[in-house]
Amino acid sequence: MSKVAASEPASKQKSHPWRDNIEAVAVAIATIVLFKYFVVEAYKIPTGSMQPTLMGNAETGIFDRVIVDKFSYHFRDPERFEIAVFNYPLDSSKNFIKRIIGMPGEELEIRGGDPWIRPEGQEDFTILRRPRSIQDAQLRRLDTEGEWKMSMGTAGRWRIKPSSSGDEFSATGRGEATFPRTYESIRDNYVDGYPEGIKDKIITLKKGSNFNDVSDLRARCEVRADAGCREVAIELHEGRRRFKFILPGPAAPASERARIIATGLDSDDLEVVATEMPDGEPARLTTGDRYEVEVENLNDRLALRIDGDEVAAAEIPPAPDRARSKVTLRIEAPQGSTTTVDDMKVWRDIYYTFDPTRQKVSRWNIPPGNYVVLGDNSQDSSDGRDWTLVQFQIEEGERAGETVSGNLRESSSPRPDANPLYLPSKRKWEQLVLRDTLGERHVFERGEATRLSDEVAPLVSRDLIRGRAVAVVWPLAPQHDVYRWKWVR
């Protein structure tokens, strides 16, 4: 009878500590690499193209670290408004991060600072509207301190107390105040929306600050009216158009309700009345009660909200390309009547710039499998509006006839980041240095390569998109009162 040897007890098996440790380290490394490649990775934001949503700024020393979800895009395609990390199409050795604006199969156009889209099969372009969470994240709060101008006779009856949480108005009687005082219009100030602690450190020279009138606005405040108050109104100016958001006070006729009145439209004037509040109460101010009031003109849509609920809204015709904008607070009340307006804040929307001297594209016909991405910092973002390929044809050697392309970063004088880089001599230039779309460096002697026509490259293909930014987890800069932990919208 043959015998089968019993297994040796585990306690007596030979131990190989070095091999065990190496195996454990190898497994750990493999797990980390796979996790990083397929699931989650942390990225440092090196530039300011997505500011202030994502900060990357050498002047302040603030560089956000973001967590990027790479898992989701293995199972689904990117969605509009997501902030995506992708390989830069003109140099795939680099990662870029931008917001997805244009989707496959549609046309996209920048008009008057707003994106307009025409999906496949649709006859006309429509303005692109964002979900509330995205809109809230992209609005930029304006610095209103000291910028409210009182109308004649108002100053003696109104007091304004500037506050970081919002300006406070104490109004004893009729009057009005208008923002801004200094400029004729609200414009796209480069530092709008930046944390207060770092605004003064940001250099705005040559960044297109205050060039464009911005009329897409939101204002929010808290209102408390006394028994003598007849009316509280917030008016948004857009060129000759006026959008009045009116709240009847306790002294108004009992039949009056909150309403929006739009005048100066190409068509007839528009009025929308809110019959009641969501809780069933009449849409009007009552004596001594405090209400949060929010009004907006965003993407050709007017909205009035009271205590967070939308009580009236209306769509309006597209705005003129250039329209001066202001915000006016008006109170109708007899002298001695006291109404308070607290925490008054004003925001503006992103204004998507297009400068033909620098940017090449303001309209895209997007083929399947491609996207248009734009930076939230529209004045200072290298994105689908200006990406351009420089192309050279090789004239000599084994590669004769081959075309080499790279990211065009031309400069009037040689500098390390120029592409192509011409190394000069007495005969204009001796050598050409070019980095191609894979990031590889090519050096050509004079006459070995001929420059072809440059070609715009405004799209990002699906296969280059790696993941979506989900959260900012760093930095902390208590010296600037900056704490950047947040979800990315």
What is the structure's pLDDT at 4? 40
Cβ–Cβ < 8 Å for 280, 227: no
Closest CA to 157 of 285, 342, 293, 331: 331
Q: Say yes or no: 371 and 408 in one domain.
A: no
The tokens for 381 are 């973002």
User: Under DSSP, is residue 178 helix (H, G, I), strand (E, B) or coil?
Assistant: strand
Q: Would you name the residues annotated as active-site residues?
A: 49, 98
Tokens 């480069």 belong to which residue?
190
Tell me if 317 is assigned to some domain. Answer: yes
Q: Does 250 lie in the same domain as 119?
A: no
Strand partners, 309: 306
**Same domain flag for 248 and 225:** yes
Residue partners of 72: CB distance under 8 A and separation at least 6:
467, 468
Task: Tell me which of 348, 366, 399 is where a domain ends.
Answer: 348
- The span from the CA of 56 to the CA of 347, in Å, is 22
Q: For the sheet containing 421-423, what is the strand order?
A: 421-423, 431-435, 441-445
pLDDT on residue 71: 87
CA dist., res. 278 & res. 258, Å (int):
13
Residue 275 has a pLDDT of 83
Residues 337 and 202 reside in one and the same domain: yes
Residue 322 lies in a domain: yes
- Of 32, 89, 64, 63, the C-alpha closest to 487 is 64
**Positions in the chain whose pLDDT score sits under 70:** 1-40, 411-414, 425-428, 476, 479
Contact residues for 41 (Cβ-Cβ < 8 A; gap 6+): 67, 68, 70, 467
Tell me, what CATH number does 51's domain have? 2.10.109.10
Q: Answer whether 138's CB lies under 8 Å from 131's CB.
A: no
pTM passes above 0.75: yes
Same domain for 430 and 373, yes or no, is no
Note whether 207 and 190 are within 8 A (CB): yes
* Residue 160 covered by a domain: yes
Asked whether residue 68 falls in the same domain as residue 180, the answer is: no
For the domain that residue 221 is a member of, what is the CATH number? Answer: 2.60.120.200
Spell 6-15 as b/e; 16+ CB within 10 A means b.
Answer: eeeeeeeeee
Predicted local confidence at residue 199, as pLDDT: 86
373 Cβ contact partners less than 8 Å away, ≥ 6 residues apart: 84, 86, 96, 98, 99, 100, 101, 102, 383, 384, 460
Provide Rg for the chain, Cα atoms: 29
Exposure string of 387-409, with b = 16+ CB inside 10 Å and e = fewer, is bbbbbbebeeeeeeeeebbbbbb
**Do both 380 and 342 map to the same domain?**
no
Helix, strand, coil content of the chain in percent (nearest 5):
10, 40, 50
Indicate the residue type of 458. P
User: Residues 311, 274: contact at Cβ < 8 Å?
Assistant: yes
Q: Which tokens sit at 44?
A: 């440092």
Distance CA 405, CA 447 (A): 17
Asked whether residue 126 falls in the same domain as residue 173, the answer is no
Q: Could you give the CA distance from residue 353 to residue 362 in angstroms, rounded to a whole number?
A: 9
The pLDDT of residue 383: 94
Is residue 221, in this structure, part of any structural domain at all?
yes
Is residue 96 a contact partner of residue 44, using CB atoms and an 8 Å limit? Answer: no
Q: Do 330 and 435 lie in a common domain?
A: no
Is 414 a member of any domain? yes
Q: Determine the structural domain holding residue 66 and report its residue range.
A: 41-136+354-384+460-487
Kindly give, in sequence order, each residue whose CB lies less than 8 Å from that of residue 20, ignoring residues fewer than 6 positions away.
none
Looking at the structure, tell me whether residues 337 and 466 fall in a common domain: no
Residue 72 carries which DSSP code?
G
Angstrom distances, CA of residue 477 to CA of 61, 196, 244, 486: 9, 12, 41, 14
Angstrom distances, CA of residue 462 to CA of 382, 436, 439: 19, 20, 20
Check whether residue 333 and residue 210 sit in a common domain. Answer: yes
- CA–CA gap between residue 76 and residue 343 (Å, rounded): 42
Alpha carbons within 13 A on the beta-carbon side of 472: 22
Q: Is residue 9 part of a domain?
A: no
User: Residues with Cβ < 8 Å from 204, sequence gap 6 or more?
Assistant: 189, 190, 191
Q: Give the CATH number, domain containing residue 438.
A: 2.30.30
Tokens 């390569």 identify what position? 449
Same domain, 168 and 45: no
* Structure confidence by residue, pLDDT tens digits, 14-44: 555 665 566 555 555 554 454 444 456 788 8
Q: Are 96 and 86 in contact (CB under 8 A)?
A: yes
Q: How far apart (Å, rounded) are the C-alpha atoms in residues 221 and 244?
A: 15
Count of Cβ atoms closer than 10 Å to residue 168 Cβ: 17
> Considering its fold, how many domains does the chain have in total?
3
